[in-house]
Amino acid sequence: MHFYIKSTRIDLGFPFAASAAVILMLDKSGTALLVFLCCALHEAGHILLLSLCSAPPDAIILGVFGMRIERGEVCLDYRREAVCALAGPAANFIVSLAALPFARVYPNVLKLADLSAGIGVFNLLPVEPMDGAAALKSLLLLKYEERTADKIVDIFAAVLLIPLTVCGIILLIKTGNNFTLLCVCIYISVYLIAKKRTA
């Protein structure tokens, strides 16, 4: 199913709808709904900045693994690319700060603030496919060639992934059931390996 918002096509696939429905039904704490909201606001930050830079996305695709933005033919300079990459985490931090005054009265609002801040911080990691890596590469391209910029980003990824994976394993051992961080590290590792093979 797809529809349009101005010139941007919104693709809502059945796998996304089905997986979201299953997650929401299985989640009894209400956390999943808050995570979806934080992720939607995160992507809205990207879309807003792209639109303000006169480069609205061609399509927004909702799939099993989240939302993907397909860019149009408009090319931004490296500084604006970096700003647009950081707009998602910035949106999360704004939501988190805006929610804090209401946290004492509404416990779920405190959870929203924590989740939004966590998603913002996580997306700032300079590891592909995170926003931090996109922003870092854009800034590096102001001074270096693309090959050099890619190598620097890869070094950051290698340096960060090892301790993150170790933390994920420790977290799983200590809690016995929290494998979120470990799964994310595995996903990022698979993404980077697949990218190298197709490069």
Predicted local confidence at residue 13, as pLDDT: 75
pLDDT for 93 equals 97
**Residue 198 in this model has a pLDDT that exceeds 80:** no
Q: Where are the domains of the chain?
A: 1-124, 126-199
Please tell me the pTM assigned to this model. 0.82
Q: Are strands 2-5 and 59-63 parallel, antiparallel or unpaired?
A: unpaired
How much is the average pLDDT of 130-157? 93
For residue 34, which of 111, 91, 87, 98 has the smallest C-alpha distance?
111
Q: How far apart are CA 34 and CA 118, in angstroms?
A: 12
pLDDT, one tens digit per residue, over 108-131 is 899 999 999 999 999 999 988 889
> Residues 5-31: what's their mean pLDDT?
79
**Strands 8-12 and 66-70, bridge-based pairing:** unpaired
Report the alpha-carbon distance of residue 68 to residue 12 in Å, rounded: 11
What pLDDT, on the 0 to 100 scale, is given for residue 65?
A: 65
CA atoms within 13 A on the CB side of 194: 8
Tens digit of pLDDT for each residue in 72-113? 777 889 999 999 999 999 999 999 999 999 988 888 899 999
> Lowest-pLDDT range, 24-33, 44-53, 170-179?
24-33
